[in-house]
Amino acid sequence: MKIKKIETFPLLHRLSAPYGDANGFKKYRSCYLIRITTESGIDGWGECIDWLPALEVGFKERIIPYLIGKSASDRLPLIAVIQKWHRRSAAAVSMALTEIAAKSARLSVCDLWGGKWRDLVPVYASFQSYSDRSDWIDHSLGLVEQTLASGFTMAKVKIGGRAFQEDLSHIQSLQSMTGERMPLILDANQSYDTAAARKWEKYLSKWTNLLWLEEPMPLNNLPEYKLLRASLSVPIAGGENIKSAEQFLPLLSTNSLDIIQPDILHGTGIEDFRDAMQLARHFGVKVSPHSYDGALSRLYTLFAQASLSPWTKMDKENIEPVEWDVMQNPFSELVPLKPFGGHVSLPDGIGIGIEINQDLLDRYRWDGSSYYE
Protein backbone atom coordinates (compact mmCIF):
# COMPACT_ATOMS: atom_id res chain seq x y z
CA MET A 1 0.00 0.00 0.00
CA LYS A 2 2.59 2.52 -1.17
CA ILE A 3 1.86 6.24 -1.43
CA LYS A 4 1.64 7.21 -5.10
CA LYS A 5 0.33 10.78 -5.15
CA ILE A 6 -0.24 13.73 -2.79
CA GLU A 7 -2.34 16.71 -3.80
CA THR A 8 -2.50 20.01 -1.91
CA PHE A 9 -5.41 22.45 -1.74
CA PRO A 10 -4.53 25.86 -0.25
CA LEU A 11 -7.77 27.81 0.21
CA LEU A 12 -8.38 31.47 1.03
CA HIS A 13 -11.46 33.60 1.64
CA ARG A 14 -11.34 37.32 2.38
CA LEU A 15 -14.10 38.29 4.79
CA SER A 16 -16.68 40.89 3.82
CA ALA A 17 -16.27 42.47 7.27
CA PRO A 18 -13.72 41.71 10.00
CA TYR A 19 -14.66 39.92 13.21
CA GLY A 20 -12.63 38.74 16.12
CA ASP A 21 -11.89 38.02 19.76
CA ALA A 22 -9.63 39.46 22.46
CA ASN A 23 -6.61 38.78 20.22
CA GLY A 24 -7.82 41.06 17.40
CA PHE A 25 -9.77 40.96 14.16
CA LYS A 26 -9.75 38.32 11.42
CA LYS A 27 -9.84 39.68 7.88
CA TYR A 28 -9.68 36.34 6.08
CA ARG A 29 -10.18 32.62 6.64
CA SER A 30 -7.77 30.08 5.24
CA CYS A 31 -7.67 26.33 4.97
CA TYR A 32 -5.12 23.77 3.74
CA LEU A 33 -6.28 20.32 2.66
CA ILE A 34 -4.23 17.43 1.37
CA ARG A 35 -5.26 14.20 -0.35
CA ILE A 36 -2.97 11.18 -0.24
CA THR A 37 -3.59 8.39 -2.78
CA THR A 38 -1.99 4.96 -2.74
CA GLU A 39 -0.95 2.83 -5.71
CA SER A 40 -4.12 0.76 -5.22
CA GLY A 41 -6.28 3.89 -5.52
CA ILE A 42 -7.25 4.28 -1.84
CA ASP A 43 -7.26 7.93 -0.81
CA GLY A 44 -7.49 9.89 2.42
CA TRP A 45 -7.99 13.55 3.25
CA GLY A 46 -6.16 15.66 5.83
CA GLU A 47 -6.23 19.27 7.00
CA CYS A 48 -3.92 21.75 8.69
CA ILE A 49 -3.86 25.46 9.39
CA ASP A 50 -0.98 27.95 9.08
CA TRP A 51 0.38 30.60 6.73
CA LEU A 52 -0.41 29.22 3.27
CA PRO A 53 2.92 30.09 1.57
CA ALA A 54 4.85 28.24 4.28
CA LEU A 55 2.59 25.19 4.11
CA GLU A 56 2.75 25.03 0.31
CA VAL A 57 6.54 25.24 0.21
CA GLY A 58 6.89 22.76 3.08
CA PHE A 59 4.70 20.14 1.44
CA LYS A 60 5.98 20.59 -2.11
CA GLU A 61 9.68 20.68 -1.30
CA ARG A 62 10.02 18.39 1.71
CA ILE A 63 6.98 16.46 2.93
CA ILE A 64 5.66 15.16 -0.40
CA PRO A 65 9.08 14.00 -1.68
CA TYR A 66 9.60 12.24 1.65
CA LEU A 67 6.22 10.46 1.59
CA ILE A 68 6.09 9.32 -2.04
CA GLY A 69 6.85 5.61 -2.22
CA LYS A 70 6.48 5.07 1.52
CA SER A 71 4.00 2.54 2.90
CA ALA A 72 0.76 4.25 3.97
CA SER A 73 0.39 1.67 6.73
CA ASP A 74 3.50 3.06 8.48
CA ARG A 75 1.37 5.89 9.85
CA LEU A 76 3.04 6.44 13.21
CA PRO A 77 6.69 6.31 12.03
CA LEU A 78 5.92 8.70 9.16
CA ILE A 79 4.15 11.17 11.42
CA ALA A 80 7.00 10.99 13.95
CA VAL A 81 9.40 12.24 11.26
CA ILE A 82 7.14 14.97 9.86
CA GLN A 83 6.27 16.40 13.27
CA LYS A 84 9.96 17.26 13.73
CA TRP A 85 9.72 19.48 10.65
CA HIS A 86 6.25 20.97 11.15
CA ARG A 87 3.78 19.61 13.68
CA ARG A 88 0.70 21.11 12.03
CA SER A 89 1.57 19.44 8.73
CA ALA A 90 1.94 16.18 10.64
CA ALA A 91 -1.66 16.61 11.82
CA ALA A 92 -2.88 16.71 8.21
CA VAL A 93 -0.85 13.65 7.25
CA SER A 94 -2.14 11.74 10.28
CA MET A 95 -5.76 12.37 9.24
CA ALA A 96 -5.17 11.30 5.65
CA LEU A 97 -3.30 8.11 6.60
CA THR A 98 -5.96 7.29 9.21
CA GLU A 99 -8.66 7.43 6.55
CA ILE A 100 -6.58 5.26 4.22
CA ALA A 101 -6.17 2.68 7.01
CA ALA A 102 -9.92 2.69 7.66
CA LYS A 103 -10.79 2.37 3.97
CA SER A 104 -8.33 -0.44 3.40
CA ALA A 105 -9.95 -2.34 6.28
CA ARG A 106 -13.45 -1.46 5.01
CA LEU A 107 -14.19 0.27 8.31
CA SER A 108 -15.35 3.68 9.43
CA VAL A 109 -12.79 5.78 11.31
CA CYS A 110 -14.67 5.18 14.57
CA ASP A 111 -14.72 1.43 14.00
CA LEU A 112 -10.98 1.55 13.30
CA TRP A 113 -10.61 3.10 16.76
CA GLY A 114 -12.71 0.44 18.44
CA GLY A 115 -16.25 1.71 17.90
CA LYS A 116 -18.49 4.57 19.02
CA TRP A 117 -20.07 5.06 22.42
CA ARG A 118 -22.71 7.28 20.82
CA ASP A 119 -24.10 8.28 17.42
CA LEU A 120 -24.99 11.85 18.41
CA VAL A 121 -22.51 14.43 19.73
CA PRO A 122 -23.64 17.78 21.22
CA VAL A 123 -22.18 20.95 19.72
CA TYR A 124 -22.22 24.61 20.71
CA ALA A 125 -22.27 27.64 18.44
CA SER A 126 -18.93 29.47 18.63
CA PHE A 127 -18.99 33.21 17.98
CA GLN A 128 -16.33 35.84 17.36
CA SER A 129 -18.21 38.57 19.19
CA TYR A 130 -16.25 41.68 18.28
CA SER A 131 -16.52 43.73 15.11
CA ASP A 132 -15.38 47.18 13.99
CA ARG A 133 -18.95 48.47 14.15
CA SER A 134 -19.96 51.07 16.73
CA ASP A 135 -23.04 48.96 17.46
CA TRP A 136 -21.02 45.75 17.90
CA ILE A 137 -23.10 44.63 20.88
CA ASP A 138 -26.37 44.82 18.96
CA HIS A 139 -24.72 43.12 15.99
CA SER A 140 -23.45 40.32 18.22
CA LEU A 141 -26.86 39.82 19.80
CA GLY A 142 -28.45 39.62 16.36
CA LEU A 143 -26.02 36.89 15.28
CA VAL A 144 -26.70 34.87 18.42
CA GLU A 145 -30.47 35.24 18.03
CA GLN A 146 -30.31 34.16 14.39
CA THR A 147 -28.14 31.14 15.20
CA LEU A 148 -30.37 29.98 18.04
CA ALA A 149 -33.33 30.19 15.70
CA SER A 150 -31.50 27.82 13.34
CA GLY A 151 -31.45 25.09 15.98
CA PHE A 152 -28.37 25.56 18.17
CA THR A 153 -29.00 25.29 21.90
CA MET A 154 -25.63 26.38 23.38
CA ALA A 155 -23.26 29.23 22.56
CA LYS A 156 -19.79 30.59 23.27
CA VAL A 157 -19.15 34.33 23.14
CA LYS A 158 -16.06 36.43 23.69
CA ILE A 159 -14.95 38.65 26.54
CA GLY A 160 -11.61 40.31 27.29
CA GLY A 161 -11.35 42.39 24.11
CA ARG A 162 -13.09 45.48 25.52
CA ALA A 163 -13.17 47.31 28.85
CA PHE A 164 -14.82 45.31 31.60
CA GLN A 165 -18.00 47.40 31.73
CA GLU A 166 -18.47 47.21 27.96
CA ASP A 167 -18.02 43.44 27.96
CA LEU A 168 -20.34 43.16 30.94
CA SER A 169 -23.02 45.17 29.13
CA HIS A 170 -22.72 42.75 26.20
CA ILE A 171 -23.16 39.66 28.36
CA GLN A 172 -25.95 41.16 30.45
CA SER A 173 -27.82 42.10 27.26
CA LEU A 174 -27.32 38.58 25.93
CA GLN A 175 -28.59 37.06 29.17
CA SER A 176 -31.61 39.33 29.09
CA MET A 177 -32.36 38.44 25.47
CA THR A 178 -32.26 34.69 26.16
CA GLY A 179 -33.81 34.85 29.63
CA GLU A 180 -30.68 33.13 31.01
CA ARG A 181 -32.04 29.87 29.58
CA MET A 182 -29.35 29.27 26.96
CA PRO A 183 -26.29 27.34 28.20
CA LEU A 184 -23.48 29.88 27.75
CA ILE A 185 -19.67 29.85 27.61
CA LEU A 186 -17.51 32.96 28.14
CA ASP A 187 -14.10 32.90 26.42
CA ALA A 188 -11.48 35.49 27.39
CA ASN A 189 -8.62 34.17 25.21
CA GLN A 190 -6.10 34.52 28.06
CA SER A 191 -6.59 38.29 28.28
CA TYR A 192 -6.88 38.81 32.07
CA ASP A 193 -4.71 38.59 35.14
CA THR A 194 -6.11 37.00 38.30
CA ALA A 195 -7.53 40.23 39.73
CA ALA A 196 -9.31 41.12 36.48
CA ALA A 197 -10.72 37.62 36.11
CA ARG A 198 -12.09 37.70 39.65
CA LYS A 199 -14.14 40.81 38.83
CA TRP A 200 -16.48 38.50 36.91
CA GLU A 201 -17.29 36.35 39.93
CA LYS A 202 -19.93 38.77 41.21
CA TYR A 203 -21.92 38.01 38.06
CA LEU A 204 -20.83 34.43 37.42
CA SER A 205 -22.23 33.39 40.79
CA LYS A 206 -25.67 34.71 39.85
CA TRP A 207 -25.90 33.20 36.37
CA THR A 208 -26.99 29.58 36.55
CA ASN A 209 -26.71 28.88 32.81
CA LEU A 210 -22.93 29.20 32.47
CA LEU A 211 -21.14 26.07 31.28
CA TRP A 212 -17.61 27.36 31.87
CA LEU A 213 -15.19 30.30 31.74
CA GLU A 214 -12.59 29.67 29.04
CA GLU A 215 -8.92 30.63 29.35
CA PRO A 216 -9.33 33.74 31.52
CA MET A 217 -5.53 34.04 31.98
CA PRO A 218 -2.31 32.95 30.24
CA LEU A 219 -1.72 29.25 30.86
CA ASN A 220 1.92 29.72 31.85
CA ASN A 221 1.05 30.40 35.50
CA LEU A 222 -0.65 27.28 36.82
CA PRO A 223 -0.53 28.25 40.53
CA GLU A 224 -2.64 31.31 39.69
CA TYR A 225 -5.06 29.13 37.72
CA LYS A 226 -5.42 26.82 40.68
CA LEU A 227 -6.15 29.78 42.99
CA LEU A 228 -8.64 31.24 40.52
CA ARG A 229 -10.38 27.90 40.11
CA ALA A 230 -10.84 27.70 43.89
CA SER A 231 -12.38 31.17 44.01
CA LEU A 232 -14.83 31.00 41.10
CA SER A 233 -18.28 29.43 41.08
CA VAL A 234 -18.08 28.17 37.47
CA PRO A 235 -15.76 25.60 35.86
CA ILE A 236 -12.59 26.80 34.12
CA ALA A 237 -11.57 25.40 30.73
CA GLY A 238 -8.51 25.76 28.53
CA GLY A 239 -5.70 24.23 26.53
CA GLU A 240 -6.50 24.86 22.85
CA ASN A 241 -2.92 25.89 22.06
CA ILE A 242 -1.20 23.11 23.96
CA LYS A 243 0.85 21.10 21.49
CA SER A 244 0.90 17.57 22.89
CA ALA A 245 -0.74 15.20 25.35
CA GLU A 246 2.43 15.38 27.44
CA GLN A 247 2.00 19.14 27.89
CA PHE A 248 -1.42 18.59 29.45
CA LEU A 249 0.14 16.65 32.33
CA PRO A 250 1.07 19.70 34.46
CA LEU A 251 -2.46 21.14 34.12
CA LEU A 252 -4.05 17.83 35.07
CA SER A 253 -1.69 16.87 37.86
CA THR A 254 -2.04 20.27 39.57
CA ASN A 255 -5.85 20.34 39.24
CA SER A 256 -5.62 23.68 37.43
CA LEU A 257 -8.57 23.17 35.06
CA ASP A 258 -12.01 21.60 35.23
CA ILE A 259 -12.14 21.01 31.45
CA ILE A 260 -9.33 20.56 28.94
CA GLN A 261 -9.66 21.63 25.31
CA PRO A 262 -7.13 19.99 22.99
CA ASP A 263 -7.21 20.94 19.30
CA ILE A 264 -6.19 18.51 16.54
CA LEU A 265 -4.81 21.32 14.37
CA HIS A 266 -2.50 22.64 17.08
CA GLY A 267 -0.89 19.31 17.92
CA THR A 268 1.06 16.59 16.16
CA GLY A 269 -1.76 14.42 14.89
CA ILE A 270 -4.92 12.54 15.64
CA GLU A 271 -3.17 9.90 17.77
CA ASP A 272 -1.67 12.41 20.19
CA PHE A 273 -4.97 14.32 20.25
CA ARG A 274 -6.81 11.19 21.34
CA ASP A 275 -4.08 10.48 23.90
CA ALA A 276 -4.77 13.87 25.50
CA MET A 277 -8.48 13.13 25.66
CA GLN A 278 -7.92 9.74 27.26
CA LEU A 279 -5.37 11.21 29.66
CA ALA A 280 -8.03 13.59 30.93
CA ARG A 281 -10.36 10.66 31.53
CA HIS A 282 -7.67 8.98 33.65
CA PHE A 283 -7.56 12.14 35.78
CA GLY A 284 -11.36 12.34 35.98
CA VAL A 285 -11.42 15.61 34.01
CA LYS A 286 -13.89 16.67 31.33
CA VAL A 287 -12.86 17.17 27.68
CA SER A 288 -14.53 19.67 25.36
CA PRO A 289 -12.25 19.83 22.31
CA HIS A 290 -11.47 23.12 20.63
CA SER A 291 -12.40 22.88 16.94
CA TYR A 292 -12.68 26.30 15.36
CA ASP A 293 -10.37 26.37 12.36
CA GLY A 294 -11.50 23.61 10.00
CA ALA A 295 -14.42 21.45 8.89
CA LEU A 296 -12.45 18.24 8.29
CA SER A 297 -10.58 18.55 11.58
CA ARG A 298 -13.92 19.19 13.28
CA LEU A 299 -15.25 15.95 11.80
CA TYR A 300 -12.28 14.05 13.23
CA THR A 301 -12.89 15.81 16.55
CA LEU A 302 -16.49 14.61 16.51
CA PHE A 303 -15.33 11.06 15.71
CA ALA A 304 -12.92 11.20 18.65
CA GLN A 305 -15.59 12.54 20.99
CA ALA A 306 -18.04 9.86 19.87
CA SER A 307 -15.38 7.23 20.64
CA LEU A 308 -14.50 8.66 24.06
CA SER A 309 -15.80 6.86 27.14
CA PRO A 310 -18.36 8.74 29.28
CA TRP A 311 -16.98 11.16 31.85
CA THR A 312 -19.40 9.95 34.51
CA LYS A 313 -22.33 7.58 34.78
CA MET A 314 -24.29 10.31 36.57
CA ASP A 315 -24.51 12.69 33.59
CA LYS A 316 -27.51 12.06 31.35
CA GLU A 317 -25.74 13.57 28.29
CA ASN A 318 -22.55 11.67 29.28
CA ILE A 319 -20.38 13.49 26.75
CA GLU A 320 -19.12 17.05 26.59
CA PRO A 321 -19.99 19.34 23.65
CA VAL A 322 -17.70 20.15 20.70
CA GLU A 323 -17.13 23.63 19.27
CA TRP A 324 -18.89 24.59 16.01
CA ASP A 325 -17.81 27.74 14.14
CA VAL A 326 -20.90 29.71 13.07
CA MET A 327 -19.17 32.81 11.73
CA GLN A 328 -18.80 33.70 8.05
CA ASN A 329 -16.56 30.92 6.73
CA PRO A 330 -17.27 29.10 3.45
CA PHE A 331 -14.87 26.31 4.44
CA SER A 332 -17.41 25.07 6.97
CA GLU A 333 -19.19 23.68 3.91
CA LEU A 334 -16.24 21.53 2.82
CA VAL A 335 -17.72 18.72 4.90
CA PRO A 336 -21.50 18.63 4.30
CA LEU A 337 -22.53 17.93 7.88
CA LYS A 338 -25.09 20.00 9.79
CA PRO A 339 -26.18 20.07 13.44
CA PHE A 340 -29.81 19.48 14.28
CA GLY A 341 -31.32 20.31 17.65
CA GLY A 342 -27.90 21.08 19.11
CA HIS A 343 -26.42 17.69 18.09
CA VAL A 344 -24.59 16.19 15.12
CA SER A 345 -25.42 12.75 13.78
CA LEU A 346 -22.14 11.25 12.61
CA PRO A 347 -21.64 9.53 9.25
CA ASP A 348 -20.84 5.83 9.59
CA GLY A 349 -19.67 4.91 6.09
CA ILE A 350 -16.23 3.64 5.13
CA GLY A 351 -13.40 6.01 6.11
CA ILE A 352 -14.83 9.39 7.07
CA GLY A 353 -18.10 8.35 5.45
CA ILE A 354 -18.63 11.63 3.65
CA GLU A 355 -17.41 13.38 0.49
CA ILE A 356 -15.39 16.59 0.47
CA ASN A 357 -17.11 19.43 -1.42
CA GLN A 358 -14.94 19.57 -4.54
CA ASP A 359 -16.60 22.71 -5.91
CA LEU A 360 -15.30 24.73 -2.97
CA LEU A 361 -11.77 23.50 -3.60
CA ASP A 362 -11.85 25.07 -7.05
CA ARG A 363 -13.74 28.21 -6.05
CA TYR A 364 -11.49 29.27 -3.17
CA ARG A 365 -8.12 27.96 -4.26
CA TRP A 366 -5.46 30.44 -3.22
CA ASP A 367 -3.85 32.12 -6.23
CA GLY A 368 -0.51 32.74 -4.56
CA SER A 369 -1.09 36.48 -4.01
CA SER A 370 -0.24 38.27 -0.79
CA TYR A 371 -3.00 38.24 1.80
CA TYR A 372 -1.36 38.56 5.22
CA GLU A 373 -1.65 41.97 6.93
343 in active site = no
Q: Which residues make Cβ contacts (< 8 Å) with residue 32, sequence separation at least 6?
A: 8, 9, 10, 11, 47, 48, 49, 50, 52, 55, 56, 92
Alpha-carbon distance of 368 to 58, in angstroms, equals 15
Of the residues 116, 158, 266, 286, only one is catalytic, namely: 158
Helix, coil or strand: residue 6? strand
> What amino acid occupies position 200?
W
Closest by Cα among 184, 288, 280 to 240: 288
Residue 229, number of CB atoms within 10 A of its CB: 18
Alpha-carbon distance of 246 to 243, in angstroms, equals 8
Q: Which residues make Cβ contacts (< 8 Å) with residue 54, sequence separation at least 6?
A: none
Q: Which residues of 244-280 are buried (b: 16+ CB within 10 A; e: fewer)?
A: bbeebeebbeeebbbbbbbbbbbbbbbbbbbbbbebb
- C-beta separation of 8 from 56 below 8 A: yes
Q: Please, which residues bridge with residue 130 across strands? A: 20
Alpha-carbon distance of 298 to 295, in angstroms, equals 5
116 in active site = no
CA separation (Å) from 136 to 4, 162, 169? 50, 11, 11
- C-beta separation of 147 from 141 below 8 A: no
Q: Which residues of 26-49 are buried (b: 16+ CB within 10 A; e: fewer)?
A: beebbbbbbbbbbeeebbbbbbbb
Burial class (CB in 10 A: 0-12, 13-18, 19+), 146: exposed
Residue 12, number of CB atoms within 10 A of its CB: 18
Closest by Cα among 118, 7, 21, 11 to 333: 11
> What amino acid occupies position 119?
D
**Active centre residues (catalytic):** 158, 290
